[in-house]
Amino acid sequence: MVKRIAIFGSTGSIGKQTLEVIAEHKDKFSAEVLTAYTNEKLLIEQALKFNPNIVVIADEKKYEVLKDALSNTQIKVFAGEKALNEVALMNCYDIMIAAIVGYAGFQPTLNAIETGKTVGLANKETLVVAGDIVMQKAFEKKVAIIPVDSEHSAIFQCLVGEGRNKIEKVILTASGGPFLGKKPNFLVNVKRDHALQHPNWSMGAKITIDSATLMNKGLEMIEAKWLFSLQPQQIQVVIHPQSIIHSMVQFEDGSIKAQMGLPDMKLPIQYAISFPQRLTSNFPRYDFKRPSSLTFEEPDLRTFRNLVLASEALFKGGNLPCILNAANEVAVFAFLRNRIGFLDITAVVEKTMEKISFIEKPTLDDYLESDAESRNFAASLIQL
Ligand code: NAD
Ligand code: MG
């Protein structure tokens, strides 16, 4: 049976790589829904190539041009945020690849879970914003959330076959990003283009900056807590600059399992849509005959303070991760527009976390409000 895939965020880095995987396995997968924010050109190109059932463009101004370009096809065309949420509720697909970046991906992902779809989760922000609500909903609806994030896919793969065996801890590996070993006196002058150059991965702009500030690893700690029902103290971060070990699980007998491979997001994407099967791939293989070493070190928490802030949010819980995420999105956006410096990102997040009221057991509405309030406050700090 062909699995019908809905790619929310098909024009992004994860979205495009998902289409590459589908193209390699046309007998197993079809692209049923494709969505984009503003890039109608690429969406049209993808639609003509993959012939989905539905395309959605979030930016309503792009509707006419999209509709015209696809007028000779059977493809249904929708526009706007509302349409994005509604299409997520439809029954025309089996698996959602949640590949929208940031908070914008939250509601469509929650809607997919609501209607019982399997979710391949790239959009980690969804779990950072309201992990308890998302996981509770997934539990109620018996929905599998299969991680696409490489670290979490690694942990997920290490856990296959382990049944109820207890996890002592998970060890999330981090490349350290382009500024590994640098100190604040260097980072203060870092510009956008330098921060956008990641040594091992080619990704969208937001996550690339998050990787440079180590906020990405902070968000991933929170993501891991929810995905694998962990206590905060069971989550450790280790710097592993080669990005060959994608993460590890240590069990209560002390045994450590690691999942390894060359850094290539197509692998966790393919695993998420083919699970529990593994499919063939022509991705390059890691070669143990080539001299190389795998190294590990502690993160520099004095320099990369985002990791400390994210740990605080992880341990304290409530709406604090939601506040952290919202402030970070605003700050990263401002940095990408050269409005603030690299170290200001952390300052904006920290001040917003201090300012916005803490709620220990937030409802969904509390989360939505905390997100909006945090964005407003962070923006006022930057004077956007
Ligand atoms: P990207 O910026 O390359 O793509 C983002 C996609 O989301 C695009 O298709 C864009 O059109 C869409 N989008 C953006 N804002 C939107 C909005 N307001 N409404 C509707 N659609 C919108 O990002 P990416 O690198 O592909 O990352 C996507 C998600 O996957 C992120 O949450 C990221 O953290 C996660 N992730 C990415 C990678 C990677 O290698 N790129 C690895 C692990 C996790
Ligand atoms: Mg990751």
CB 175 within 8 A of CB 243: yes
Position 384 confidence tier, pLDDT thresholds 50, 70, 90: low
| Buried b / exposed e along 266-302 (16+ C-beta atoms within 10 A) | bbbbbbbbbbeeeeebeeeeeeeeeeeeeeeeebbee
CB neighbourhood size of 262 (10 A)? 14
The pLDDT of residue 295: 97
pLDDT digits (tens, 9 = 90+) for 300-320: 999 999 999 999 999 999 999
Instruction: Return d(Cα 224, Cα 318) in angstroms, integer.
Output: 16
Please say whether the dihedral angle defined by the alpha carbons of residues 317, 362, 153 and 140, taken in this order, is positive or negative.
Answer: positive
Quickly name the fold that domain 317-384 has: Rna Polymerase Sigma Factor; Chain: A (1.10.1740)
- Best residue among 7, 8, 10, 14 to mutate for probing ligand 1's pocket (most ligand atoms within 8 Å of CB) is 14
Sketch the domain layout of the chain as residue ranges. 3-148, 152-262+292-305, 317-384
Task: Compute the average pLDDT of residues 232-251.
Answer: 98
Instruction: Return d(Cα 213, Cα 232) in angstroms, integer.
Output: 21
Give the closest residue (by CA) to ligand 1 atom 4.
12
pLDDT digits (tens, 9 = 90+) for 65-90: 999 999 999 999 999 999 999 999 99
Give the closest residue (by CA) to ligand 1 atom 23.
204
Distance set, CA 177 to CA 180, 198, 304, 321 (Å): 6, 6, 11, 22
Place of tokens 């779990």: 127
CATH 1.10.760.10 fits 3-148, yes or no: no
Which two three-digit tokens encode residue 204? 């969208």
| First and final C-alpha spacing in the chain | 50
Q: Among residues 126, 166, 158, which one has the least CA distance to residue 143?
A: 126
Instruction: Return d(Cα 384, Cα 325) in angstroms, integer.
Output: 18
Whether ligand 1 lies within 6 angstroms of the CB of 201 is answered as yes
Give the Å distance between the CA of 204 and the centre of ligand 1.
6
CA dihedral 248, 250, 251, 256 (to 10 degrees): 80
Whether ligand 1 lies within 6 angstroms of the CB of 13 is answered as yes
Beta strands, E only, 202-324: 235-239, 245-251, 256-260
Does residue 10 carry a pLDDT above 90?
Answer: yes
Residue type, 166: K
- Best residue among 41, 203, 336 to mutate for probing ligand 1's pocket (most ligand atoms within 8 Å of CB) is 203
pLDDT digits (tens, 9 = 90+) for 205-230: 999 999 999 999 999 999 999 999 99
Task: Compute the average pLDDT of residues 169-185.
Answer: 97
Residue type, 27: D
CB neighbourhood size of 20 (10 A)? 12
Task: Compute the average pLDDT of residues 124-144.
Answer: 98
Instruction: Return d(Cα 170, Cα 308) in angstroms, integer.
Output: 18
Position 292 confidence tier, pLDDT thresholds 50, 70, 90: confident
CA dihedral 115, 118, 121, 124 (to 10 degrees): 40
Task: Compute the average pLDDT of residues 264-289.
Answer: 96
Mean pLDDT of the chain: 97
Task: Compute the average pLDDT of residues 229-246.
Answer: 98
